[in-house]
């Protein structure tokens, strides 16, 4: 693999030079650890783009790179941020075009490709765990629910918003939709549902036998099983990685049992789950891996 630059821009910006699917040198972070600077939520779209360009320039240091990959939250098509619930100020922003234009002024002409942050995490996991030749999917359990896949494919892939219940009372998803996976599993959604306790207390009380919490924890696992089963029925069986701060609540026995109840056709059976820790480094590697693949496909065309 050639030399590329990977960027992960979610709550902060992490940028690294990638060679042979590894970070060459240290990651550049904005804000730097320990510095009291505004995060991306407080920054206008143009300022975010400017900040990313500055970090890319610092990492590249005049080196020739094959491509530049950006991992960013939201629905993204051809560099356009169509929707980004967690960074609402960038909705409708031509991030790819803006970065390309600004980088060109700085003497950097490598093609820029923008991907959903969950997809670059999937690519990073594939690259660092020897799965670049396989189809994998990744659930990220946090404030929201991310769904990434590798190899990258054109599409929306907002798996966290797939419908897992027809109950009209299930309205806790941050997007406002009813019956969504994120409305059950998301950290924010759990806090809205249980106003009298934090999510960690819900799982602790379930282990202690509290019936209300036991019922919810079973629904929580069944919701992830339902979303996984839907993916299996659409794209076939395979390896599913689970990451994010709330992956610590996963009961693998319960999750596997529910998936087995939902997937009965023999050619679709045999999917596996694995818990995995992720980091800025994995996302940065994944952004570069996806960018290199896109650049080579474009050149072949």
Q: 207-220 pLDDT, tens per residue? A: 999 999 999 999 99
* 299 is a domain residue: no
Crossing angle of helices 199-207/211-235, nearest 10°? 110
> Is residue 13 domain-resident?
yes
> Do both 178 and 104 map to the same domain?
no
Verify that 13 and 150 share a domain, yes or no.
no
Q: Within this chain, do residues 111 and 212 fall inside the same structural domain, yes or no?
A: no
Q: What percent of the chain clears pLDDT 70, i.e. is strictly above it?
A: 98
Domain boundary residue, one of 62, 83, 116: 116
Q: CA-CA distance, 40 to 12, in Å (whole number)? A: 6
Q: What pLDDT, in 10s, does the model give residues 35-67?
A: 655 678 889 999 999 999 999 999 988 889 999
pLDDT of residue 298: 79
Residue 74 and residue 112 in one domain: yes
Residues 110 and 226 in one domain: no
Q: Residues 108, 160: one domain? A: no
- Residues 23, 65: one domain? yes
| Same domain membership, residue 72 and residue 11 | yes
- Mean pLDDT of all residues in 2-18: 94
The H helix count followed by the E strand count for the chain is 9, 12
* Continuous segment of H or E residues that includes residue 118: helix 117-128
Residue 149, domain CATH: 3.30.420.40
Range of the domain at 27: 3-116
pLDDT given for residue 155 in this prediction: 87
Please say which residue of 49, 81, 116 terminates a domain: 116
Q: Looking at the domain assignment, is residue 286 inside a domain?
A: no
Same-domain check for residues 12 and 134: no
pLDDT of res. 275:
97
How many folded domains does the chain comprise? 2
- In sequence order, the β-bridge partners of residue 81 are 76
B/e letters for 79-109, b = 16+ CB within 10 Å, e = fewer, are bbbebbbebebbeebbbbebbbebbeeeebe
Q: Look at residue 61 in the predicted model and tell me its pLDDT.
A: 83
Q: Which pLDDT score, from 0 to 100, does residue 85 have?
A: 81
The reported pTM is 0.92
- What is the overall mean pLDDT for the chain? 94
Same domain, 197 and 139: yes
pLDDT band at 86 (very low <50, low <70, confident <90, very high): confident
């Amino acid at each position: 693999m050639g030399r590329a630059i990977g960027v992960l821009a979610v709550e902060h910006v992490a940028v690294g030079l990638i060679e042979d699917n590894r970070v060459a040198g240290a990651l550049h972070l904005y804000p730097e650890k320990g510095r009291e600077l505004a995060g991306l939520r407080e920054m206008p779209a143009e300022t975010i783009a400017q900040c990313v360009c500055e970090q890319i320039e610092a990492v590249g240091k005049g080196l020739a790179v094959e491509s530049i990959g950006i991992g960013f939250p939201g629905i993204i098509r051809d560099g356009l941020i169509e929707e980004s619930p967690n960074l609402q100020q960038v909705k409708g922003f031509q991030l790819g075009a803006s970065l390309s234009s600004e980088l060109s002024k700085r003497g950097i002409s490598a093609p820029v490709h923008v991907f959903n942050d969950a997809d670059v995490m999937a690519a990073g996991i594939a690259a660092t765990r020897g799965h670049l030749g396989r189809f994998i999917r990744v659930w990220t359990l946090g404030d929201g629910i991310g769904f990434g896949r590798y190899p990258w494919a054109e599409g929306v892939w907002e798996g966290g918003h797939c419908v897992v219940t027809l109950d009209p009372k299930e309205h806790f998803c941050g997007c406002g939709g009813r019956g969504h996976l994120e409305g059950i599993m998301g950290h924010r959604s759990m806090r809205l549902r249980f106003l009298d306790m934090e999510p960690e207390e819900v799982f602790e009380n379930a282990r202690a036998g509290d019936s209300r919490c036991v019922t919810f924890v079973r629904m929580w696992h069944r919701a992830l099983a339902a979303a996984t089963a839907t993916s299996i029925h659409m794209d076939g069986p395979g390896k599913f990685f689970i990451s994010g701060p709330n992956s610590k609540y996963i009961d693998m026995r319960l999750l596997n049992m529910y998936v087995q109840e939902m997937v009965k056709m023999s050619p679709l059976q045999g999917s596996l789950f694995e818990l995995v820790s992720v980091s800025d480094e994995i996302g940065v590697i994944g952004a570069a891996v996806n960018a290199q693949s896109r650049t080579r496909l474009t050149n072949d065309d």
